[in-house]
Amino acid sequence: MDIEETIINLKVLEKLDKNQKLITRGAYLNIEPSSLIPECLRRWNRQDNRQETIKKINSVINSAITYLKSKSSCDESIFNVKEYLEKSLTGINNLKETYSICTQTCSRLDIIIDKINKFIEEG
């Protein structure tokens, strides 16, 4: 995943509200729009599910952290990526609220949140 793709996906995550779900098919994340067709049917048709959502989020976060670790601390681009990474926590926490009845999903999202927080604290 290149850095531009990672940044776009971090910005999409940042904009995710409670009770919204992500479309994970393709290179870029997107927010599930309202529609006359029930969400469950659209997600089933796309073969989108919580598992795929968490895998994609984890991939985006890992890509951002890998990029940040590969750059020197005086490289200006790291400040923007680090800010986008931190702001993505808002959407990830909102997604956690969306899936609050699923202990496994919340636990997996907690691991991602902890990974981001640990990286930010160390950096």
Structurally, how many domains does the chain consist of? 1
pLDDT (tens digit per residue) in 52-98? 999 999 999 999 999 999 887 666 777 799 999 999 999 999 999 99
Asked if 12 contacts 29 with a C-beta cutoff of 8 angstroms, the reply is yes
Long-range CB contacts (within 8 A, 24+) of 102-109:
102/50, 105/50, 105/54, 108/54, 109/54, 109/57
Residue 108 has pLDDT above 70, yes or no: yes
Write out the H or E segment, with its range, that includes residue 23.
strand 22-23
Amino acid letter, 44: W
- Burial per residue of 54-73, b for 16 or more beta-carbon CB atoms within 10 angstroms, e otherwise: bebbeebbebbbebbeeeee
Domain that holds residue 97: 3-122
**What is the pLDDT, as a whole number, of residue 91?**
98
Q: Exposed, middle or buried: residue 76 (CB in 10 Å: 0-12, 13-18, 19+)?
A: exposed
pTM: 0.90
Asked if 100 contacts 53 with a C-beta cutoff of 8 angstroms, the reply is no
Residue 6: which of 70, 67, 78 has the closest Cα?
67
Long-range CB contacts (within 8 A, 24+) of 34-37:
none
